Amino acid sequence: IPLVIQLFIGMLRVIKDLTSAFLSNTLSERHNQLLVGQQGVANPTLVYVEETLKISYKNLDKNTSRIFRKLTIFPGTFDAKAEEFICQDKSNECLAKLVKLNLAFFNERSKRYRIHPMISKFADRFITKAEQEISRKRHATYYLTALVEANERMKNETSKDLQYAIALFNSELEN
């Protein structure tokens, strides 16, 4: 399913008083403004994604928007435990809201989350230096701890510990 449709679905599912007609009209108006302004709309889909992200972001509560911005720290997939520690999102409450809005995606099979690169790029424009600095430090701390744990497990040399360490390393390689 194209990203813009996923975002539409998420907004219609979560944001009260938002209708598909309103959303469609808003996006069409913005597209027409760009055409009239001769800003050269090369790809209307990108305009729709951008405008849909703006509407979603504007409707986030303060805490959820803070967590949304902090998720840009993850270069790849991540698990709930990492998000809770790094983003300081108690019980992943804000992450759950972001998944309902389709601003974050959960893979049932791997039990991992991801942020679409276009969504991450959008959110990255709003992160403050302080948020970014804290997130980077917490990210480094969390994944250093994970590497130490994997290393300790490998020293045990049991089949189960080796499998765990390799799986941990492989799943967190991007981070």
In the predicted model, what is the mean pLDDT of the chain?
Answer: 86
Contact 97, 64 (CB under 8 A): yes
Q: Sorting pLDDT into bands at 50, 70 and 90, what band is 19? A: low
Q: Does pLDDT of 79 surpass 90?
A: yes
Q: pLDDT: is 19 or 103 the higher one? A: 103
Q: Does pLDDT of 11 surpass 80?
A: no
In this structure, what are the phi and psi dihedrals at residue 86, rounded to the nearest 5 degrees? -70, -45
For the residues of 38-57, what is the DSSP string, one character each? T---S-HHHHHHHHHHHHHH
User: Can you tell me the mean pLDDT for 24-50?
Assistant: 64
Distance between CA 102 and CA 13 in Å, rounded?
10
The pLDDT assigned to 142 comes to 96
The pLDDT assigned to 122 comes to 96
Q: Sorting pLDDT into bands at 50, 70 and 90, what band is 143? A: very high
The pLDDT assigned to 166 comes to 86
The pLDDT assigned to 30 comes to 62
Q: Does pLDDT of 119 surpass 90?
A: yes
In this structure, what are the phi and psi dihedrals at residue 113, rounded to the nearest 5 degrees? -105, 160
Distance between CA 152 and CA 139 in Å, rounded?
20
